[in-house]
């Protein structure tokens, strides 16, 4: 049983599919649909998928207070409760990786497996600088500058340089339009979150997927997760920070194959 009082579920949530439970935790400045959209149907083909949108993402109202990883983790589990899921695997991307780790720490009796993609337990110097700049641009309201920064930091070399020059303005426009209203609060949390103390106690199968051309969350941070979580597996995918755009099919296959071995 959960050892602390659970909140009422207030974040907008999505439920798809049937089968073993799978919770999804999205990245900062994004939403459930923008993080997992290209692989949602594939994941739901074998699982009951439940995910939430953080404050200021999707249909969840923006927060007037700083966000906490505990609140995001508990709201994700509250969504699972509302959808009738007792046990579940958790997949977390980028900031969602820290949320997934905290779910496992706060609700260990309910988590069956973890999948962490382009994730981090804490900020290193690169991520500290990147999140600070990201936060300031997001708070400025300059959507075009935010889109330029995000593409520069998030797309891998191949993904960026293979894009025709005439396509770049269209992608920048889409990126600006897709940025979450709550990006300032979410990027602020990126700069503060630290779940390192949770890692050694995780006792479920875990897969860390390292995005090897990532300029935002370094491979050193990915490897730290894999080395610290007992028994964790490490897989690599040759993308920047956005596997859902660069190699969605490969990303889905890595997640599905791992969960297929460990579904409760």
Mean pLDDT of the chain: 95
Strands (E), 36-101: 48-52, 88-93
Going by pLDDT thresholds of 50, 70 and 90, the confidence category of residue 264 is: low
Summarize the confidence of residues 220-244 as an average pLDDT: 98
Indicate whether 208 belongs to any domain: yes
Report whether 171 contacts 151 (CB < 8 A): yes
pLDDT value, residue 1:
41
Indicate whether 141 belongs to any domain: no
- What is the pTM for the complete model shown? 0.96
Instruction: Report phi then psi at 12, rounded to 5.
Output: -60, 140
Summarize the confidence of residues 88-104 as an average pLDDT: 98
Tens digits of residue pLDDT in 14-68: 999 999 999 999 999 999 999 999 999 999 999 999 999 999 999 999 999 999 9
Indicate whether 152 belongs to any domain: no
Question: Domain tally for the chain?
Answer: 1
Tens digits of residue pLDDT in 118-158: 999 999 999 999 999 999 999 999 999 999 999 999 999 99
Residue 92: closest CA among 245, 208, 243: 208
Indicate whether 219 belongs to any domain: yes
Report whether 71 contacts 25 (CB < 8 A): no
pLDDT value, residue 3:
56
Summarize the confidence of residues 204-219 as an average pLDDT: 97
Report whether 251 contacts 244 (CB < 8 A): yes
Indicate whether 236 belongs to any domain: yes
Indicate whether 30 belongs to any domain: yes
- Percent of the chain exceeding pLDDT 90 equals 93
pLDDT value, residue 6:
87
Query: Measured between alpha carbons, how far is residue 192 from residues 98, 126, 131, 215, 240 in Å?
Result: 11, 14, 10, 19, 23
> Is the model's pLDDT at 12 over the cut of 70?
yes
Q: How far apart are CA 118 and CA 169, in angstroms?
A: 26
Residue 123: closest CA among 67, 191, 185: 191
Structural tokens at position 164: 């025709």
Report whether 96 contacts 26 (CB < 8 A): yes
Q: How far apart are CA 203 and CA 218, in angstroms?
A: 25
What is the CATH number for 77?
3.40.50.1820
Of 43-52, 70-79, 254-263, the poorest mean pLDDT is in: 254-263
- Percent of the chain exceeding pLDDT 70 equals 98
Could you give the maximum distance between any two Cα atoms of the chain, in Å?
55
Q: How far apart are CA 262 and CA 50, in angstroms?
A: 18
Domain of 79 in residue numbering reads as: 13-125+182-262
Q: Decide: helix, strand or coil at residue 113.
A: strand
Indicate whether 151 belongs to any domain: no
Strands (E), 74-128: 88-93, 111-117
Neighbouring-strand partners of residue 234: 208
Between 165 and 204, name the one with better pLDDT. 204
Summarize the confidence of residues 243-255 as an average pLDDT: 97
Instruction: Report phi then psi at 14, rounded to 5.
Output: -125, 140
Indicate whether 8 belongs to any domain: no
């Amino acid at each position: 049983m959960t050892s602390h009082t659970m909140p009422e579920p207030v974040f907008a949530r999505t439920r798809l599919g049937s089968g073993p439970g799978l919770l999804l935790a999205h990245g900062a400045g994004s939403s459930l649909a923008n993080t997992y959209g290209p692989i949602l149907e594939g994941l739901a083909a074998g699982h009951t998928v439940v995910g939430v949108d953080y404050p200021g993402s999707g249909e969840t109202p923006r927060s007037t207070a700083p966000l906490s990883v505990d609140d995001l983790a508990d709201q994700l589990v509250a969504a699972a409760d509302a959808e009738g899921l007792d046990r579940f695997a958790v997949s977390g991307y980028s900031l969602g990786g820290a949320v997934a780790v905290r779910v496992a720490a706060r609700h260990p009796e309910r988590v069956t497996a973890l999948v962490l993609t382009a994730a981090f337990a804490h900020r290193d110097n690169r991520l500290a600088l990147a999140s600070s700049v990201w936060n300031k641009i997001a708070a400025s309201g300059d959507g075009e500058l935010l889109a330029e920064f995000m593409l520069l930091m998030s797309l891998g070399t191949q993904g960026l340089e293979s894009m025709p020059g005439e396509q770049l303005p269209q992608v920048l426009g889409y990126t600006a339009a897709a940025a979450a209203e709550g990006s300032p609060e979410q990027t602020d949390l990126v700069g503060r979150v630290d779940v390192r103390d949770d890692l050694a106690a995780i006792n479920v199968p875990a897969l860390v997927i390292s995005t090897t051309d990532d300029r935002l969350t370094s491979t050193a941070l990915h490897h730290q997760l894999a080395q610290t979580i007992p028994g964790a597996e490490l897989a690599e995918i040759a993308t920047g920070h956005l596997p859902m755009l660069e190699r969605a099919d490969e990303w889905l296959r890595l997640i599905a194959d791992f969960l297929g071995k460990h579904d409760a």
